[in-house]
């Protein structure tokens, strides 16, 4: 069964943006993503028959370059290796939009696919089914999370189909996020048996952040 850490507060980075978030707003943002992703991770945990640990969410306002640097930390052991991203974009009835990414190291994504398809799956079979399997992972985790947020806000949220992209971190971010300063809600996922770690990213521009905060302030009455 999946579980998430509950101790401690969400990390707060330097706010390199004219929009300044209060501690209360940051905590409410972190709790919203923590609750919604926890439900989706529980479903995914059952699928791969393995416990999934979620880190405490970190919510920061970052320039795109700093986000790239954070992702590059996932490539410390092999700087030339690529990342596997399952990417989707969601729009909430003109209120806000967010680019979402579920990111694993390329080698780690293969281990997860192998786990999904079963131990008897051959390397050739995994190669043929990998794209579909990875897209389904995104469908379970990202769509599950956004469905929970949709229910919390009582607002319809429409998403694109999952897109599987394998590339370096800079290319992934620059091609899938256009805002210069973005809200990044990052939640780490770790599959202990497979020793695979990944991140879920929710990336919003400033106008979307303001509207998203309005929904959260209404939800938590702050």
pTM assigned to the model = 0.77
- Spell out the domain ranges in the chain: 3-220
The reported pLDDT for the residue numbered 119 is 60
Task: Assess contact for 101 and 172: CB atoms under 8 A.
Answer: yes
Residue 219 in tokens: 């939800």
Could you give the 3-state DSSP secondary structure of residue 116?
Answer: helix
CA distances from 46 to 40, 81, 129, 158 (A): 10, 29, 20, 26
| Mean pLDDT computed over every residue of the chain | 77
- Just give the CATH number of 3-220: 3.40.1550.10
* Helix residue spans in 49-104 (DSSP H): 64-72
Residue 3 above 50 pLDDT? no
Q: Are strands 52-54 and 3-4 parallel, antiparallel or unpaired?
A: parallel
Instruction: Find the mean pLDDT for residues 117-129.
Output: 61
């Amino acid at each position: 069964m999946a579980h998430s850490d509950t101790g401690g507060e969400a990390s707060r980075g330097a706010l390199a943006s004219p929009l300044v978030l209060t501690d209360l707003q940051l905590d409410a943002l972190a709790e919203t993503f923590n609750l919604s992703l926890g439900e989706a991770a529980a479903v995914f945990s059952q699928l791969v028959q393995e416990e999934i640990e979620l880190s405490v969410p970190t919510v920061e306002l970052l320039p795109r370059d700093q986000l790239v640097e954070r992702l590059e930390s996932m490539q410390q052991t092999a700087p030339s290796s690529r990342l596997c991203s399952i990417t989707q974009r969601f729009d909430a009835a003109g209120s806000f939009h967010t680019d979402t990414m579920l990111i694993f190291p390329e080698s780690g994504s293969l281990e997860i696919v192998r786990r999904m398809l079963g131990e008897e799956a051959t390397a050739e079979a995994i190669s043929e089914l990998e794209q579909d399997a990875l897209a389904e992972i995104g469908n379970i985790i990202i769509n599950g999370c956004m469905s929970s947020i949709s229910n919390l806000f009582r607002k319809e949220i429409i998403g694109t189909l999952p897109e599987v992209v394998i590339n370096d971190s800079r290319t992934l971010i620059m091609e899938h996020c256009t805002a210069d300063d973005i809200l990044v809600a990052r939640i780490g996922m770790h599959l202990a048996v497979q020793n695979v770690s990944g991140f879920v990213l929710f990336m919003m521009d400033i106008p979307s952040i303001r509207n998203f905060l309005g929904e959260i302030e209404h939800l938590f009455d702050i």
